[in-house]
Each structure stands twice: as structure tokens, then as C-alpha cells.
Structure 1
Amino acid sequence: MKLIAVNVLIFLGFMCPAVWGQNLAVNKMPAGWSAETPREEISPDFEYNLRGGPSGLGSFSISTDHRSGSFGWFQKSFPVEGGKYYEFTALQRTKNLKHARRTAVARVLWRDADGNRVKHDFVSDASYARGTQPRAEPEFPAVAEKLNNGWSLIKGTYLVPSTATQGIVELSYRWQARGKVEWSQVDLHPTVAPPARKVKLATVHFKPVDGDSNIEKCRLFEPLIAKAAEQGADIIVLPECLTYYGRGLKYHQCAETIPGESTDYFQKLASKYDLYICAGLLERDGRLVFNTAALVGPEGFVGKYRKVTLPRGEIEGGITPGTEYPVFETSFGKVGMMICYDGFFPEVARKLSQNGAEVICWPVWGCNPLLGAARACENHVFVVSSTYCGVELDWMISGIYGRDGKILSQAQEFGEVVLSEVDLARRLIWSSLGDFKAQLPSHTPVVPSED
């Protein structure tokens, strides 16, 4: 793609005349910076304020007029040492943007001394082009923190490919009319390797046939929870509506408050075995009954999720759908929950992912296992499912899905506990796609609201 160096307005506390016909980044902006656009006809307005930014250290800004579709970016090449870790940081402020995640986008591109693309040093184990050495695609630093002064911290830590000698930083504005983005204190500097975040995810494959009360049903799971704890599990997922299974009762007859008797019991087990437990229960809240997944941990009750999508039988049985997509902080990372029929709809897992979920717990009576793979892959999250379906049905599984949709482990027999150790800090890099998880905010389309 041919790039066009465009005009830049320079500010020093007042408007200076634009200088036309040359790249002012060479003369006025900090050394090495330029302003670029694919075509002059879609160029936005570029400005550099020598006293801009929250600390008065200078700022780059891009703005647009009433026309949509404008696209351009500031660019600079930073020297890097291959095989080392580098951290990108910048402060960013937006104005009049409806969807800042798609409009204000920073990227880092790895290149060799001749400006050519380079490859990563590892062989990919992703489900596409497995066994090949992927090309280093652009990195997408994310908003790490929203500051009190109206600015946000943009940040990303990366292992530079060994053949790269430069990291090209792009600060881009995409498409929206009448908006503005400003960046300050932009840097790409050496740093240390981020620590691993290894987590052992576990699930049970079990039908709680015995038991005539909620608490009796819950007690059936302790031997399985103990077995998971013996293997060092950090979290274990139990199936859907476990106090209802096999009792021949109506939903409301098994419903209870949450927190309540069942979560109190599981809290004691979580503390005893030092792990988190996700359990599928039926919840009563006043006159309403919900199909709910509860999360408890060594520290106590963590939170709950109410099933948003209801199949016909639950609607006819008087269950009310939930409306929220909560994600909960645990000692090892961020956990979301969905339940059974939710898996048929991409919106639920996507919303949980957008809210920060790294692991999605999925108590699931039955579902198409391909949808479990899809929900994991399209959001780059780990999905842990617990079902009542036997393997002979060739239907839903009790297992752990990797972020590329591969099944990492799967139970074969009822009464079995399976576990997989994963590293939440390890990025999944695809051939062609690169780090797809990092691209989701800027690439996910805007869907018109129905509200």
C-alpha cells in the first residue's frame, strides 16, 4: 500500500500556519515521527502541540470534519533488540467518539533492518497452520487503565522476534466524523518478561442421581471436588441445576436464595480444599425463579450469573431470564459464567469476553460441543464445561476447551474428574491472524442497539 505523508499543524499555545508540501514531522515534531494516510482524499487533520499532554510534554492529535471514513496515523520507528521483551506505553484522550475502541487504535509492527516483515521464533500450536512458524503480525496495545485526568494508559508487553531491529509504532484514527484523538508520552522501551499465570482448570462428569433434598444433592459432589483438589485444581465446574436433577420436581420446588444453603455448603468445601467452585443451581428471588450459576472460593461467596437465554421448557416452567453478564476477579484471573442454552448464542460468551473474562465456566445439561469450541475460539477464552450427556450420545462433553477451540481434556466416564493446566499470560499467536484476542476490541463490529 502506498502511503502519503501529509500536512501537520504545529501548535505552540496558539495556531500556527500550516506549512504545505512537506512532511513537517522532520522539522517540527519529535525526531522520526511522520503523519501518514493511505489516500489524500481520506486524510484526517493532523496536529502536534508542543505543550500538549497532561504533563505539557507535547501531544499528537488527529481530528476529522463532518465526513465519515477518514483514516490516518502518526508513525515512528523505534530501535529494538530481537529476542528481548519490550513494553509499549502511551497516554490517550478521546473526544466525541461513539466507539473509541474502533476509532483510536495503536499498533506496533516488527520489521528487520530493511523494513521487511519478520517471523516469530516459535512454532505455532494453534489449530490453524499448526507446526508452522507464524509471521509477526501487528500488535494491538490495549487500554490498561482509565486515569482521573481524562486520559487513558495504553499498554502492551511483547517478545520481539529475533530478526527484528525496529518496532514501528502507529497511532491511528479510523473513520468516525467529528471526533478527535490525542496521544502523549509515547514510548517503546525494554522491559522484563511478564510472569507466567498458570492455572489448573477442572470439571466433573457426574449425574447426581441420589439425594432427596438440595443439600443432599450438593454433598454428592464432595468426593469429586476432593479428587480435583488432590490434582491441584484452582477451579472446578459442576453441572447445571444440580439440585433439581432426577428429583421429578418442578423448577420452583428446588429453588433457593443465592447466597443460601447450597452456596454456604460449597463455600465450606472451597475453603477446605482451597479452590473455586462453580455450581449450577436454581435461584428464588421474591416471586421469580432463575437458572443460576454460583461462584464460590476460599474467600467466600464470589458472585452469580443468571441464565440469559432460555429454552422452551424453562420458559414454560416459569423461569425468568437474567439480563447481566458479570465477570468476577479471582486469585488467578477473571471468570465469567454461562449456562447450557447460552452456548447456542454467540452474544453471551462475547459479552463476557468483552467484560474481561479469561475463563468461562459452563454448567450445561446438553449442547452441541462444536458450539463450545466456537465460543472459546471466537473470543480466545478458555471454556470449562460440565454436562450430563454420556460420550455415547456424541453430544455435549465435560471438558476444557483451549482458546483456539481445541479440546484440551475430556471426561470419558461418569464419576471422572478431568483437569488441564493453562497459562493465562501466554498469548495465542496464529499464522495470518496474529494475536486475535488483542484485535477484538478494534475489529468487532458495532451492532445497532435494540433498546
Structure 2
Amino acid sequence: MKERIDQPGWISRMLSCIFLLTCISVSANAANYVTVAVIGNRVPVPDKTQGMQKVVEQVKGFWHKKILQVLPDKPDLIVLPEYCDFPKGISRQEREEYLNVRKNQIQEFFASESKANRCYIAFGMRREMEDGNWRNSCIIVDREGNIAGIYDKKFPTVGDMEGGVKTSDKTPIIQCDFGTIGCAICFDLNFDELRRVYEQKKPDIIVFPSMYHGGLVQNTWAYSCRSFFAGAMAFREIPSEILNPQGEIVASTTNYFDYTVARINLDCRLAHLDGNWEKLTSLKAKYGSAVKITDPGRLGSVLISSEDKNIPVEQMIKEFEIELLDDYFDRSRRYRLEPGNME
């Protein structure tokens, strides 16, 4: 007697296999381009005469218009500033009234925007916990409007803590469909202990909702963490910028435009020039325009990016036995400790 085939089950298993193979194929592809937008601005002084619900609606209207500016570039990720829904010109008491009315409305608004536009949105806001305490948070919603992850500020200012914000001891790495994200919020940037966590975890992108810029510290974070860095400032006067893993600015807002967009390639690695000169020359000779080698000068390291649709940068590096930056530094540390090298 012939075995009866369960057709619905068989079809389901086949579709699962096809989906899995597709995922594996995509993950193996190189040239992992991601379009990132940062918007640096703040909600202007609202009309408070009609109550705080009206203020909530003004906040939604403001950010809806700002997000519209970057949509022509079809961003994968939009980064907004710290406390992005707090308008200018409201007192502490008015802010408490606003929070009591706002509840989850702004979070739900950004979720609807991300779903409507098929992108991730990272935004800073004061978030109430179940126990009634507050956090200064960066919330990331995904393309379906679901929460992809939340980072709670690890190092709030003394003023923020005096105002009721509690600190966090967690440093999550948030998984997105294009790669991984780490977060830092404003004052966090001053603390090496947080940066060192990201040095170990090496997220693809560090998002930085903030009230202050940080100057050269941004460059240090990007380079030491081997990550792209996307900062959104709450003031037009301060540039909101996107940096590459060498700490170079690749896009910035200006005095005319409060937003900027960059298409970045996450399939990249850093390598030192020592011992790699001939290998890099051979790599470029073979792959030509399919590989990009970026030298900022004065740094001694270069950024290698695969522009090929099918060959990831790791495969190129392995093929030519190129020693990566961190591997070279680790080898130097070990060699320093060998007998005869230290007095």
C-alpha cells in the first residue's frame, strides 16, 4: 500500500526550506548597504491654551513633517534626538502634566510612522516603568511598528536623577534586519566604561540621541568600537552627523537643513597598513571596483569594504591573508611580553 503524502504539511515544509535557504543566501551576500537618516531639531514652543492633549498632537504633527523630509531616500533607519517629544518653553510642572496626558501616545505614533514607511525609528523619550519610576530611554521600533529594543540611559546627569530618572545597568545590543545597534544617550558619551562594552561587542551602528555633541569624543567612539555612529542633536545649532568606523564624518546637517541621509556599507573591516601593503595592492588588483579601500590619512589603518553583491569582505580578507586591525594590536601585545622584548 502506497504511503499517503500529507500535501499541506509537505508544502509547508518546502516553503520553510526555501525561506531558510533565502535567508542563508542573503546573509552570505556582501555590500550590506543601509540608508541612515538623522534629524536634529526640537519641538517649538507649543500652544498650551487648549490643554496638554493638544500639545501631544502638536508634537506628533511636528515630527510627522520632519520625517517626511527624509522619506524620498527610503531610509532603513531614522535617528531622532534625546527627549525628542519635550517641546521648548514648558516648565517642569507643565512637563509633568504633559507626561500624565501623553502616556504611550508618542511611542504609538512613532510605531505607526515606522510601519507606514517600512523603516526603523530610534527616538529618545522619558519612559515610565511599571513600578512608576522613570527612565531616559532610546526606543527602537522596527518596520512593523514593533519594539525592536530599548536602551535605558546608563549615566544620566545628576540633574536628571534629581528629577526622578533612574539609571540602568544593562547594555543591550539590538538586532535589526540589516545588522546590530548599540545605543548611547547624551551624557553617556563621557564614560569610558560604557564605550569599552561596545568595544567588545562591536555593534554595526551606534545611535546617539543627544542634547550635546561631544566633539572629538564621537570620533573616538566610532573608531574604538569599529562602528558607524549616528548622532541626532536636539538643537539646530549643533550638527547631527553620521560617522564611519574610522571616525570620519560622512554626512552632516547644516545651518540650512536639519536632516541628513547617508548610504553606508556595513560589510567592512579595519586593517592596519603594517604588513598589509602588498596584500592590499593585490586585493585591489583582483577585485577592482568590487572592493573599496579607504585611507583617511595619519591613522595608519584603512577601511576595507566589499562592493561585490556575492563576495563578503571577510572572504576577501581571508583570501589575501590580510591581518585585521584588532588582530594586529593583539599580536603586538603578545609579542611585547615574549622573552627578551621587555626589560
TM range (shorter): 0.5 to 0.7
- Could you say what secondary structure the match of 1:428 adopts? strand
Alpha-carbon spacing, 1:440–1:339, altered in 2? closer, same or farther (3 Å): farther
TM-score computed with the length of structure 1 as normaliser: 0.50
Output the amino acid matched with 2:62. Answer: L
User: Is the strand fraction higher in 1 or 2?
Assistant: 1
- Could you say what secondary structure the match of 1:349 adopts? helix
- Could you say what secondary structure the match of 2:188 adopts? helix
- Say whether 1:296 aligns with 2:141: yes
CA distance in 2, matches of 1:321, 1:222: 30
Residue among 252, 263, 270 paired with 1:428: 270
* Within-5 A mapping of 1:303-314: 303-314=149-160
- Could you say what secondary structure the match of 1:282 adopts? strand
Alpha-carbon spacing, 1:268–1:439, altered in 2? closer, same or farther (3 Å): farther
- Could you say what secondary structure the match of 1:323 adopts? coil
Residue among 17, 28, 31 paired with 1:196: 31
Output the amino acid matched with 2:36. Answer: L
CA distance in 1, matches of 2:97, 2:328: 46
Structure 2 residue aligned with 1:234: 76
- Say whether 1:316 aligns with 2:205: no
* Within-5 A mapping of 1:49-448: 194-211=29-46, 213-250=55-92, 252-255=96-99, 260-285=104-129, 286-299=131-144, 300-391=146-237, 396-413=238-255, 416-432=258-274, 435-436=324-325
Aligned residues: 249
Output the amino acid matched with 2:85. Answer: T
- Could you say what secondary structure the match of 2:203 adopts? coil
Where does the alignment leave 5 or more consecutive residues of structure 2 unmatched? 1-27, 47-51, 275-300, 302-322, 334-343
Identity %: 19
Q: Deviations over 1:228-275 (max 9, x none)?
A: 221121101101101223142336555479993212111111111111
TM-score computed with the length of structure 2 as normaliser: 0.65
* 8 Å Cα contact 2:121-2:141 kept in structure 1: yes
Structure 2 residue aligned with 1:94: none
Q: Which has the higher contact order (CA 8 A, sep 6+)?
A: 2
CA distance in 2, matches of 1:379, 1:312: 27
* 8 Å Cα contact 2:199-2:224 kept in structure 1: no
* 8 Å Cα contact 1:229-1:275 kept in structure 2: no
Where does the alignment leave 5 or more consecutive residues of structure 1 unmatched? 1-192, 445-451
CA distance in 2, matches of 1:259, 1:428: 44
* 8 Å Cα contact 1:206-1:415 kept in structure 2: no
User: Is the helix fraction higher in 1 or 2?
Assistant: 2
Q: Which structure would you say has the larger Rg?
A: 1
CA distance in 2, matches of 1:351, 1:341: 16
CA distance in 2, matches of 1:217, 1:204: 15
- After TM superposition, give the deviation of residue 224 of structure 1 in Å: 2.3
- After TM superposition, give the deviation of residue 319 of structure 1 in Å: 1.2
RMSD (Å) for aligned C-alpha atoms: 2.9
